[in-house]
Structures are given as structure tokens and as C-alpha cells.
Homo-oligomer: A and B are copies of this chain.
Amino acid sequence: MSIVGIRGTFFDFIDDPWKHLGQESAAARFVADGLMVIEDGIIAECGPYAALAGRHAGLEITHIENRLIVPGFIDGHIHVPQTRVVGAYGEQLLPWLQKWVFPEEVKYKDRDYAREGTRRFFDALLASGTTTCQAFTTTAPVATEEFFEEASRRNMRVIGGLTGIDRNAPDYYVDTAENFYRDSVALIERYHRHGRNLYAITPRFAMGASDAMMRHCEQLKQDFPDCWINTHISENPAEIRALLDLHPDCADYLGVYEKYGLVGPKFSGGHGVWLSNDEFRRMSQSGAAVVFCPCSNLFLGSGLFRIGRATDPDMRVRMSFGTDMGGGNRFSMINVLDDAYKVGMCNNTLLDGSVNPSLKDAAEAERNKLSPYRAFWSVTLGGAEGLYIDDMLGNFEPGKEADFVALDWNGGPAALPWHQSLSYRGAGPETVEEAADLLFGIMMVGDDRAVDETWVMGKRLYKKG
């Protein structure tokens, strides 16, 4: 058995900060001088160094100094084969797919290209502090194979699957529902729960799935109930309108997935910008999750996701955050938090009643505010809950997988260190509040440069150059 120790300053979460209104720090856990003991990649214990060190005489300890150690970031929605076309110019969702995305993704039929792209994808993730993602691939099985193979080489916890689309895409890109079913079965049997791989049945989005494709997805979920389901929902108004023309028997976007029995635990719908209150309520009741992708929602102009509505205690929806790279223009979940904060604040100007008094809702506005607690919970433990993998990772509880990031709170533009110096006095943060203030500085003034080291299953896979 391999046993290693990490000494440093630890910050993670034990609960959802949205449940601790006015005292969010109660949801966090901070150890200024801590020790994490890792056995074969699994956290054996994590707590104050002074209390634990004596019990582990002879333990080989790596001391990570002047850093905040937080759980590895979880990206709930990302597209592997868009790595190269990240941030492509000029279009909303539907024309953007046709002009930029499908022509690039089709290259992933070629194994060599798929392997290179996938390798670059994971390199970019680790450099961003992301240790787990739920990913889309392409209609070509080879792209999905390369995704799981590369993740396995790095021993990273990932969720992904063959990404089905049989209409509303170019002829060279679509595949049939029958092939999708057959290839999905083979890939599930080969990869699901092999190593850290988890399989998601992945109809790309309802607009791109015929009735036959959706029925095959339903069948797959019945055949393999342990698998995840990953797709898009209610991203863009023009898309929603077009979808409902195709499904006149459905009242709304969610209704289409409900029709095929896909909505429930382990179901993730990316975006949800235009979800109605009723859809939020039904998602909440069924245990389905939404993945908030603010960089993408702003970059493609899809709209402002209603954080304060998704977190309404009366209809609380499970929620992960995602880059949606390449519809999102950044790989880093730190950039995602920057844009997520902005989306919340823009919503609030409408909710304060100054534009339209009938929209005034102070409670929703309060929930829209992305404090550093809410933010970093959402990309760690909260993200894991959204993806139903919080039994495996998301914080530093014993038994969980030892994926973590060492953050340099001064990593970012030249202006950052003086800003951060407002938040602490000693060599580093000494209280949970000081640590949270530094985390807010990282997300709003810093960026991926704050990621100094990324560790997966107790092994360091990335060190900033």
C-alpha cells in the first residue's frame, strides 16, 4: 500500500452554503495547518497537523506552503472535441454549431487527431485545476474511446459517452439511431466503471435527436440503469421554439426529455437559461440536475441563468457548474466563477424593482449573489452532488478520492497581490473568512494562474511552469 502525507492549508465544504443564509462560513471547513493522509489515492484522514502528525510517524510528507489547498474543480459540462475551436467568433447557438463546431468535431473520426485533441484537452483541464469533468465527445466511437483511454492514463474521474445526433447537423456528421445504440452498448460494456470511468448516455440535445434516437436512449437507460444521462436543455430561445415545433405534444423543453423517461437522478441538462419555474420544480422533484455554464451563456449570448431561482429552497435543483468549452471561451472554472458572479449581479438589477417593480424579489436577489463560499462549493462538493458523485469526491472526507488543487492566491494579473493584501495580515490566511476573501480575489481578479499544482488520486499531475 502506498501512503503519502500532504501538509498545508486546507479549505473544503461540508454543506451547501445556500442553506446557511447569513452564516455561509458554517458550510466550510478551514485548517490553517493541516495534514492529509492518503492511502492508495484515497483520503484516510484530513485534519489539524498537530493532532494527526503524531499518529503517522515516518510518513513521507509533502509540505505545500503558501497555498490554499481545495478540492479539485469539477466541470459538469464540456466538449472535448471543441478544444481547438474554443471561442470562435460571431454566432448564436444554432449557426455557431453549423459553422464552427461540426467541421472541427468531425476530425475526431481520425484516431490520431482525436488522440492529440484529447491529450491537449486534459492538459488544459489540469492546468486549470479541473480534476473531474462530464464531457461530450462526438458521434464517432473512436472519440469516446480516446476520451476514456486518456482519462485512464491520468487516472482521472470522468463521466462521458458517445454523443448522439441524427438530425439538424451536416450529413457528414450525423449517425443513425441504430448505430448510436449499438456503439453505446459496446462502449458502456468496455468503459463504465472500469477504473474511474463513468458512462453517460448522451443524446447531444433534443433538437438533434429524432424520436428513434430518443427511444434508443430510453432503452439504454433501462438496459444500464447505473449509467448517467448527459445532454443540453433550454439554452437558446430560438432553439426552444424550434424544438417545440418538433414536439407539439410537449409543453416545454423538459417535457421532451420526460416523454422518453430520461429525467431523474444522474440526469444533467446543460444551461437551463430559459427554464420556467415549473420546469425547475419538476427537475427538483425528480432529482435531475442543471449545469450552469455562464461563460458560454454570455459568449453565445444565450441569456442570464437564474441562479436565485434554481437555489430557491421550495424548488431547489441540483446544480453543477460547467465551462461548456468551446461554447464557453475558457477552460478554467475560475473564469466560470467570474462570469457566474456577473450573471447573478445582472439578474439582481432586475430583481431590485428599480426597472420593473413587479419583478422585485429580494430573497431571490440574495440567492443570486455568488459569494466565495457558494462559488467554490459549486465547483467542488456542490458540483459533485449535481453529478451524483459526491460519494466519491468533492471534499476531504475520509474515503474520498484525493483530487485537489493548490491555489496561489497571488496568481493572476499584476494588480492581484496588492488587492489580496487587504484580506490577510500574516503569511497566509488564518481564518475561514480570510481564506474566503482570498478565494473571491482569485475568482474576480485572478484567473487560472492561481492554479499552482493539481493532484489526482494523491499524485501531482500538474505544476505551474
Residues B329 and A422 in contact, CB atoms below 8 Å apart: no
Do A413 and B301 touch across chains, with their CB atoms under 8 A apart? no
- Once the chains are docked, how many angstroms separate the CA of A238 from the CA of B360? 13
A456 CA / B135 CA spacing, docked (Å): 46
> Are B444 and A299 in touch, CB under 8 angstroms?
yes
Query: A89 vs B421: C-alpha distance in the bound complex, in angstroms?
Result: 15
With A123-B414, A413-B128, A444-B329 known to touch, is A299 a contact of B83 (CB < 8 Å)? no
Q: Are B300 and A237 in contact (CB under 8 A)?
A: no
Distance between Cα atoms of A300 and B422 in the complex (Å): 20
| Cross-chain contact B415 with A331 (CB below 8 angstroms) | yes
**Contacts A127-B414, A448-B413; is A419 near B85 (CB within 8 Å)?**
yes
A146 to chain B, nearest CB (A): 16
Q: Tell me whether B445 and A371 are in contact (CB under 8 A).
A: no
Nearest chain B residue, comparing its CB with the CB of A87: B444
Q: What is the bound-complex CA distance between A128 and B414, given in angstroms?
A: 8
A84 and B418 contacting across the interface, CB-CB below 8 Å: yes
CB closest chain-B residue, reference A414: B127
Interface string of A415-449 (1 = CB under 8 A from B): 10011011000000000000001001100110110
- Which of B92, B342, B372 is A298 in contact with, Cβ under 8 Å? B342
Residues of B within 8 A of A347 (CB): 301
A324-380 interface with B by 8 A CB criterion: 325, 329-332, 338-339, 341-342, 344-349, 352, 354-355, 369, 371-372
Contact A302 B92 (CB under 8 A): no
User: A303 at the A/B interface (Cβ < 8 Å)?
Assistant: yes
Query: Taking each of A299, A302, A344, A349, which has the highest tally of chain B beta carbons within 10 Å of its own beta carbon?
Result: A349
* A448 contacts across to B, CB distance below 8 A: 413-414
A413 & B338 in contact (Cβ 8 Å cutoff): no
Select from chain B the residue with minimum beta-carbon distance to A346.
B301
- Say if the beta carbon of A304 comes within 8 Å of chain B: yes
A90 cross-chain contacts in B, Cβ below 8 A: 369, 371
A79-114 CB contacts (< 8 Å) to partner B: 83-87, 89-90, 92
Number of interface residues of A (CB under 8 A): 59
Q: Are A331 and B86 in contact (CB under 8 A)?
A: no
Q: Convert A207-246 into 0s and 1s, putting 1 for each residue whose CB lies closer than 8 angstroms to a CB of B.
A: 0000000000000000000000000000011100100000
Q: Please, which residue of chain B has its CB at the minimum distance from the CB of A127? A: B414
Interface pair A298/B238, CB less than 8 Å apart: no
The chain B residue with its CB closest to the CB of A126 is B414
With A92-B348, A354-B237 as contacts: A84 and B419 at CB distance below 8 Å:
yes
Contacts of A63 in B (CB 8 A): none
Chain B residues whose CB sits within 8 angstroms of the CB of A354 once the complex forms? 236-238, 241
Q: Which residues of B contact A348 (CB under 8 A)?
A: 92, 301
CB pair B415 A86 closer than 8 Å? yes
- Given the interface pairs A120-B415, A342-B301, A414-B124, the reply to whether A236 lies near B331 with Cβ below 8 Å is no
Task: Give the contacting residue for A440; candidates B89, B301, B418; CB below 8 A.
Answer: B89
A441 → B minimal CB distance (Å): 7
Nearest Cβ distance between residue A97 and chain B, in whole angstroms? 15
28 CB contacts below 8 A, A to B, read A83-B419, A84-B418, A84-B422, A85-B419, A87-B419, A87-B444, A89-B437, A90-B371, A120-B415, A120-B418, A236-B349, A237-B352, A237-B354, A298-B346, A299-B341, A299-B342, A299-B345, A300-B345, A301-B342, A301-B348, A302-B349, A303-B349, A325-B415, A329-B445, A330-B445, A332-B413, A339-B342, A413-B448
